[in-house]
Amino acid sequence: MSNRNKIILLVLLIAVIALPYWRVKSNSKFFVDGVINHLENMGVWNHSSVEVSLDGNVKVLGVQFIPNGFKQAMNIDSVNIHVDMRRLLFSSPHKLTTHVPNNLTISFNNVSFEHNSSDFQKAAEQQNYWPVAVGYLGAYGCGTGAEPNYTSEQWDEILPTAPQFNIELNYSLVDSYHIDFNLNIESDGNWYIVWSGTLTRTSDVDLISFHDTIIEKLYYHHADMGFNQKRNEFCAQQNNESFSAYRVNSAEEIQTQLRVYHGKEMPSLLSNQYQRSLAEGIEINAIFDLSEPKYIYEFADLKQKDFFEQSQIEAAFGENDYKKIDLADIDFLELDMETLRAELEAKEQEAKRLEAEANAPKELLKTIKHTVGGESPNEIVIKDWNEAIGENIRVRTKRGRPIFGRLLSVNDTHLTIATRYMRGDATISVAKKDVVRMTKTR
């Protein structure tokens, strides 16, 4: 082959490699704009640059997020988005900008409050980091803020350094109307949390939108990774250096709230379970079944107290011992006269507040619910589980919790699945008898 032919061949080879890479790199910017556009209902997003690799990993650097209603930003070191390379190579810029993919994983790395974002940080603290961490983080019997909560000074003692977060969202369109999702939230040295469930879409149009999806049931996992120890040490100091006194006082303060505002109380078993949940290194699972379905934007505006009041709750310290959270009628024989008088006075004040609320104008709440049958257009139901070993699969259990991961093995009784856990992978075992369906993306 002559030198001239070699040069022509080399030029053609470079073109074959360079042109697709140029298109992927160019389209990745449109793709990032499209993803951010779908998050703009939350606030204003800015970023400095976008990097893309040929394995489909898109990295957005120097991200800042200013939530609605605030002036300061949250800083995010980087946002990683894994996308099918074929989408970047063959989709038009318009579709990349307007259409979020049917399946996606997004990781937000090292999320932190901006140096001068005191208003945003204080707002997060005043809600006990709700809805990141459900529960009141042990503020009963210790926190001297409202609703209950810790004051800013108490937060500074419990968490002298503002928490940083790593957040990963993965979702998949199951059928024309339903989206399964997992939201993993890790605050190193504090907690690891997973929210998961299924969102119902109000339309089957090709454009996926999350702002107007509907939520009915949520699954929650909370693993303590150090926060309980910090809080317990601080709250013990407020209770004569006794963790036991803090734990009992916390349960008693909840009892007072329940008696005044709900006319109910925790039975002794539930009270003991609550006190156990304050221990270090505890893991809690819960299912929240909303009394009425809500749009996701309505849910985002809920106060934690309202969320509890509007949910049927099951909770467990393990995966298989869920118990419904039921309150009991008040046993007045167990109350001393001073406690009873104080609670009755508080109850009268609450009745006046409720009457004032009842006389205020109310908005009509619109709820939409779809029931969809038939085969999913985006997923294949796996009938022979052994043939799916090594594949990325999605498992739905009898409790409804979606599990995303790679199927490692199948034996007579269990499936072994590699799934995301904090910054790495974890191997979990799922009993075959608890599996309703296994699917994989087309």
Q: How many CB atoms lie within 10 A of CB 356?
A: 9
The structural domains of the chain, with segments of one domain joined by +, span 1-115, 127-367, 379-441
Q: What is the pTM assigned to this prediction?
A: 0.76
Question: Omega into 101 within 30° of 0, i.e. cis?
Answer: no
Residue 204: half-sphere exposure toward Cβ, Cα within 13 Å: 10
The domain made up of 379-441 has a fold known as SH3 type barrels. (2.30.30)
The stretches of 212-295 forming alpha helices (DSSP H) are 227-237, 243-262, 268-277
Give residues with Cβ within 8 angstroms of 215, minimum separation 6: 197, 199, 200, 290, 293, 294, 295, 296, 299
In whole angstroms, how far apart are CA 310 and each of 55, 100, 255, 432?
Answer: 44, 31, 19, 33
Least Cα distance to 199 among 315, 307, 293 occurs for 293
Per-residue pLDDT of the chain (442 residues; tens, 9 = 90+): 566 555 555 545 544 444 456 566 777 788 888 888 888 888 899 999 988 877 778 899 999 998 888 888 889 999 998 877 677 766 787 787 888 888 888 999 999 887 666 778 888 888 899 989 999 999 999 999 888 899 989 999 999 888 899 999 989 888 888 999 999 999 999 999 999 999 999 888 888 888 889 999 999 999 999 999 999 999 999 888 999 999 999 999 999 888 888 888 999 999 999 999 999 999 999 999 999 999 988 898 899 989 999 999 999 886 667 889 998 888 665 555 556 566 566 666 666 666 666 666 544 333 333 333 344 455 688 888 998 898 888 888 877 677 878 899 999 889 998 876 555 567 888 888 888 888 876 5
Q: Is 47 helix (H, G, I), strand (E, B) or coil?
A: coil
The stretches of 263-336 forming alpha helices (DSSP H) are 268-277, 296-300, 304-309
Q: How many CB atoms lie within 10 A of CB 394?
A: 20
Least Cα distance to 137 among 226, 270, 264, 215 occurs for 226
